[in-house]
Amino acid sequence: MASQEMALRYGCNPHQSPSRIFMKQGELPIKVLNGSPGYINLLDALNGWQLVSELRIATGLPSAASFKHVSPAGVGVGVELSDVLKKAYFVDDCELTPLATAYARARGADRMSSFGDFAIVSDIVDVPTAQLLKREVSDGVLAPGYEPEALAILSKKKDGKYAVVQIDPVYTPALLETRDVFGITFEQRHNDLLINNAMLETVVTQKKDLSDSVRRDLLVALITLKYTQSNSVCFVKDGQVIGVGAGQQSRVHCTRLAASKVDKWFLRQHPTTLSLAFKEGIKRPDRDNAIDQFLEDDLTPAEEVFWKTAFTTVPKRFTREEKRAWLDTLTGVSLGSDAFFPFRDSIDRAVRSGVSYVVQPGNSLRDDVVIEACNEYAMTMFFCKVRLFHH
Distance CA 21, CA 6 (A): 5
Q: From the candidates 15, 24, 316, 391, give the one annotated as an active-site residue.
A: 391
Kindly give, in sequence order, each residue whose CB lies less than 8 Å from that of residue 25, ignoring residues fewer than 6 positions away: none
What burial letters (b/e) apply to 131-151, b meaning 16+ CB within 10 Å? bbbeebebbbbbbbebeeebb
CA distance 145 to 138: 18
- Positive/negative CA dihedral, 370, 376, 377, 379: positive
| Residue pair 101/123 in contact by the 8 Å Cβ criterion | no
Residue 213 sits at φ, ψ, to 5 deg, of -70, -35
Sign, Cα dihedral of 87, 88, 90, 91: negative
DSSP 20: E
Annotated catalytic residue, options 69, 87, 134, 308 = 69
Number of residues assigned to the chain: 391
Given the residues 34, 47, 231, 289, select the one marked as catalytic. 231
Of the candidates 114, 109, 89, the one whose C-alpha atom is nearest the C-alpha of residue 262 is: 109
Query: What number of other Cβ atoms are within 10 A of residue 98's Cβ?
Result: 17
68 classed as catalytic? yes
Residue 119: helix, strand or coil by DSSP?
A: strand
Decide if 69 is catalytic. Answer: yes
- Which of 68, 86, 226, 261 is the catalytic position? 68
- Give yes or no: 134 in active site: no
φ/ψ bin of 327: left (φ > 0), alpha (ψ from -120 to 50), beta (otherwise): alpha
Helical H runs in 122-277?
127-134, 148-155, 212-226, 251-267, 271-274
Query: How many CB atoms neighbour CB 31 within 10 A?
Result: 15
Query: What is the rounded distance in angstroms from the CA atom of residue 358 to the CA atom of residue 377?
Result: 12
**270 in catalytic set:** no
Instruction: Specify whether the CB–CB gap between 185 and 179 falls below 8 A.
Output: yes
How close are the terminal C-alpha atoms of the chain, in Å?
32
Please, are residues 239 and 61 in contact by the beta-carbon 8 Å criterion?
yes
Residues with active-site annotation: 68-69, 231, 391
